Structure 1
Amino acid sequence: MTTYTLHVPDEVDPGEPEALDRATLVPDAFVWPAFWFSALWFFWHRLWLAGLIVLAAEIVVWAAGLALGLSPAAGFLVALLLSWLIGLEASSLRRWTYARTGRPIRDAVTASDIREAEVKIVARWLREEGARLGSPPTRPVTPASLRADSPALGLFPEAQSPR
């Protein structure tokens, strides 16, 4: 199961259905395209500052490898480890960029895929709209056959002394 975070602009009211059109879901998982394409992935997602930071880190690591005279195998291993780190932290950098630009985390759900996460987010978001409009919250109804006839309030009615 993956955790997905919902990012919506600050000016949006909770529960506003039209706000979900501008919302972004970010999975908290390893990002393979960021591993393979690193800075290009950030630029593709319009994460300019994070992309520049990643590009600068790659250039510094490359220059340090040349300055230290690393063998090609060692240089490849260092580049591979840097790409692995970028793949691990890509979602965090994406969330950081959204929070910095006025789209903080508004909600988080756990789901097996992006579609299930969207369904859960829409259900929660619209439930907030109903609460904001003043409709009473829905409660689960307990069938009469399951209700206890004892006057006890709690989980252990047998702990009361018999009358």
Structure 2
Amino acid sequence: MATYTVHEPPVSDSDRVDRAVELAFVKDGFSWLTAIFPPLGFLAHGLWLMAIAYLAGAGLLGYVLAQAKVDPDWIGLIMLMINIYLGFEISTLRRWMLDQKGWRMLGVVNGRSIEECERRFFESWLPDQPVIQSDTPKTPGNPSGTPGGLRFWPFGARA
């Protein structure tokens, strides 16, 4: 079972379909890519600032440990443990970055795949969202409710 948190941007459209397109689903779980090579894992998840911070922090930590005359095997083990930890925490970092940008968490959903999670979330979320209606009323001469008559007829409503 996969678990995803659902996040909404700070400024979103009022129409529920447009809002649904903007939602971000963040998977909770381990990232092998991040554990093997964290900068690439960060970049794959859109966390380029974290990739830069990791490179600077890892370089600084390696330099400090080397200057402290720590055995290179221990330095490698320390870096491996940090990478594995980051593999577990990549989703937390993504949620934190979204929170810093003003995104709001809407909920948590479980499923076998991302498609199932999206379906489950939208089945419960969409009915509670407002439907934006057109300002132009639908009439017999204007069945689509679009200004100027039929949608693809450039000269207004057909007589």
Q: Please, what TM-score do these two structures have when normalized by structure 1?
A: 0.70
> How many residues in Structure 1 have an aligned counterpart in Structure 2?
131
- State the percentage of identical aligned residues: 28
Give the Å deviation of 1:48. Answer: 3.0
> Match for residue 151 of structure 1?
none
> Where does the alignment leave 5 or more consecutive residues of structure 1 unmatched?
134-163
> Match for residue 61 of structure 1?
61
The structure showing larger relative contact order (alpha-carbon pairs under 8 Å, at least 6 residues apart) is 1
Give the Å deviation of 1:127. Answer: 2.0
3-state SS in 1 of match to 2:79: helix
| The structure with more helix, counted as a fraction of residues | 1
Give the Å deviation of 1:124. Answer: 2.0
Summarize the Cα distance change of 1:104–1:80 in structure 2 as closer, same or farther, 3 Å threshold.
Answer: same
> Match for residue 38 of structure 2?
38
CA distance in 2, matches of 1:101, 1:119: 26
Match runs of 1:13-162 below 5 Å: 16-129=16-129, 132=130
Q: Is the 8 A contact 1:14 1:128 kept in 2?
A: no
Summarize the Cα distance change of 1:14–1:77 in structure 2 as closer, same or farther, 3 Å threshold.
Answer: farther
Question: Aligned-residue CA RMSD in angstroms?
Answer: 2.1
Runs of 4+ in 1 over 3 A off after TM superposition: none
CA distance in 1, matches of 2:45, 2:27: 14
Summarize the Cα distance change of 1:125–1:52 in structure 2 as closer, same or farther, 3 Å threshold.
Answer: same
> Where does the alignment leave 5 or more consecutive residues of structure 2 unmatched?
132-159
3-state SS in 2 of match to 1:43: helix
